[in-house]
């Protein structure tokens, strides 16, 4: 049973910022956030950026949220993750994902079927770390696996130490009809005594101008909804036709702002917390209660794009949650 007081508040940097990472780490640690996760972009490495955060802090948990497994040779990934874990004193989590088919195509990589291939990599990582010559001063990092759709979520709960739930997993119909049953199916297949932990990503946008905060979150959701691989998320909801139209217009070259205007408001409210600092704090408190009832122990606030003011927007989000984890363990 997860109590609401057990739900940690963390941050995921959906940003390619690099030089400001020490500033972000220091501010997040001072604010009492549990963990900061890094994302991966073409031209940016998630492991190295997580390491930069860890070396700029002493208590803050850090992790890759996510590193694309299809871009790396497993043995090299094992070494990089173990080095990061050792350098930050055991505060690193290796978050892995298979990305979308379009992303894998962009990288020129074949990785099918993704859930099976990812499970094979996880097994190879653990086998490598178990060798005597790989013994370090800290244990190997826990492995988090990200998912949106049923098969990946099932296999993530089967093989991972932690399951990373994409923001679209919070779409209520998808959550209850597909996500939770898939997680239970994966748990039923586990062969180890420890249970898998659950971490939920949530789009988070804060600004003194509540309308601007919603607009930024709406753009992020429009980007996700334009992705063909995420189509099942809205199946069985009232928004299937709207999202299908959005995707058609995306293929026709419509701008992101125009696509954002097509995002249903109720759908946005299900996957995001947004508004003024007070509104966002209240939204996260309410969402944390809901997640605790589902056995989810970490809510991860996903930053949104804000152009030239991106760093200021990230720091404002961190400051909104100063001391939310005060008095909780940080390990």
CATH number of the domain within which 10 lies = 3.20.20.30
Region 300-306: what's the mean pLDDT?
Answer: 95
Predicted pLDDT at 324: 61
pTM: 0.95
Q: Is residue 24 part of a domain?
A: yes
Convert the pLDDT of each residue in 128-146 to its tens digit. 999 999 999 999 999 999 9
Our CA dihedral for 48, 50, 55, 61, rounded to 10 degrees, sits at -160
Domain count for the chain: 1
Q: Is residue 105 part of a domain?
A: yes
Average pLDDT of the residues of the chain: 95
Q: What is the DSSP string of 202-216?
A: EEEEE-SSHHHHHHH
pLDDT band at 306 (very low <50, low <70, confident <90, very high): confident
Convert the pLDDT of each residue in 84-100 to its tens digit. 999 999 999 999 999 88
Convert the pLDDT of each residue in 36-68 to its tens digit. 999 998 889 999 999 999 999 999 999 999 999
Domain that holds residue 131: 4-320
| CB atoms closer than 10 angstroms to residue 223 | 14
Tokens of 96: 């892995």
Q: Is residue 198 part of a domain?
A: yes
Percent of the chain with pLDDT over 70: 97
Q: Is residue 328 part of a domain?
A: no
Q: Is residue 118 part of a domain?
A: yes
Q: Is residue 280 part of a domain?
A: yes
Q: Is residue 326 part of a domain?
A: no
Q: Is residue 119 part of a domain?
A: yes
């Amino acid at each position: 049973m997860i109590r609401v007081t057990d739900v940690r508040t963390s941050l995921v940097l959906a940003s390619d910022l690099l030089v400001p990472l020490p500033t972000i780490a220091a501010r997040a640690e001072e604010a009492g956030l549990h963990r900061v996760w890094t994302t991966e972009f073409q031209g940016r490495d998630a492991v190295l950026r997580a390491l930069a955060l860890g070396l700029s802090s002493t208590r803050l948990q850090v992790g890759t949220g996510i590193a694309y497994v299809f871009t790396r040779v497993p043995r090299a990934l094992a070494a990089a993750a173990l080095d990061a874990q050792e350098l930050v004193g055991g505060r690193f989590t290796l978050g892995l994902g298979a990305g979308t088919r379009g992303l894998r195509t962009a990288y020129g990589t074949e990785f099918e079927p993704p859930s099976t291939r990812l499970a094979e990599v996880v097994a190879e990582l653990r086998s490598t770390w178990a060798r005597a010559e790989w013994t370090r001063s800290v244990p190997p990092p826990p492995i988090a696996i990200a998912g949106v759709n049923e098969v990946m979520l099932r296999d993530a709960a089967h093989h991972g130490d932690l399951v990373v739930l994409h923001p679209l997993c919070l779409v209520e119909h998808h959550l209850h009809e597909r996500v939770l049953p898939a997680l239970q199916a994966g748990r039923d297949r586990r062969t180890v005594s420890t249970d898998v932990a659950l971490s939920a990503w949530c789009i988070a946008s804060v600004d003194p101008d509540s309308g601007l905060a919603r607009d930024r979150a709406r753009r992020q959701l429009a980007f996700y909804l334009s992705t063909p691989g995420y189509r099942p998320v809205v199946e069985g909801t009232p928004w299937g036709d709207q999202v299908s139209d959005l995707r058609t217009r995306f293929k026709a070259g419509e701008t992101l702002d125009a696509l954002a205007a097509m995002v249903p408001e109720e759908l946005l409210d299900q996957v995001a917390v947004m508004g003024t600092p007070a509104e966002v704090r209240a939204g996260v408190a309410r969402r944390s209660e809901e997640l605790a009832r589902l056995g989810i122990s970490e809510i991860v606030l996903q930053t949104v794009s804000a152009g030239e003011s991106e760093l200021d927007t990230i720091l404002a989000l961190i400051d909104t949650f100063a001391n939310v984890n005060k008095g909780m363990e940080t390990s």
